[in-house]
Amino acid sequence: MTTFEILSHTADTGFRVTADTFEDLLAAAAGALAGIVMDCRNVQPLESLEIAAQGEDLEALVVNFLNEVLYVLDGRRFAVSRAAVTASGPHGVSAALIGEPRDDIRHPPSLVVKAVTYHQIVVEQRGARWIAEVYLDI
């Protein structure tokens, strides 16, 4: 289960995730985004959808990756139970989103997220841990 901390902001909402590796950070961020968009407690790991994203730097890579996750959540109506990064490099990432078709009764919506933003984004390694702070346009 992904844990995340909600960050206060006057017009948007955000979250902070930490992990031991950059790949785990991306997976945790995907879980946090899904948990903000809907109640994911009843999502069953029945299917897998592949996504990929690119970015010129780590911040762009995280934003682009999370916007792909957001598209799957809303555009493809897929509820995510977890994400597994299958490949990553300094400018690209591939991942499998594991879950099932979205059902608003079993996975009630929580918040409408329009986009993942670059506003005050932080993606960095601090000692042995990776941290990301991400704000969402709601």
pLDDT digits 0-9 by tens, 78-98 = 999 999 999 998 899 999 999
Phi, psi of 6 (to 5 degrees): -75, 135
Query: How is residue 56 written in tokens?
Result: 């010129």
How far is Cα 91 from Cα 98, in angstroms, rounded to an integer? 23
pTM of the predicted protein model: 0.91
pLDDT for residue 8 is more than 90: no
How many C-beta neighbours within 10 Å does residue 5 have?
11
How far is Cα 138 from Cα 122, in angstroms, rounded to an integer? 19
* Spatial contact of 98 and 47, defined as CB atoms under 8 Å apart: yes
Label residue 121 by pLDDT band (50, 70, 90). Answer: very high
pLDDT of residue 55: 97
pLDDT of residue 20: 97
Mean pLDDT, rounded, of the chain = 94
Structural domains in the chain, CATH included, are: 14-137 (3.55.10.10)
> Which amino acid is it at 66?
L
12-18 average pLDDT score: 92
Query: How is residue 100 written in tokens?
Result: 């099932």
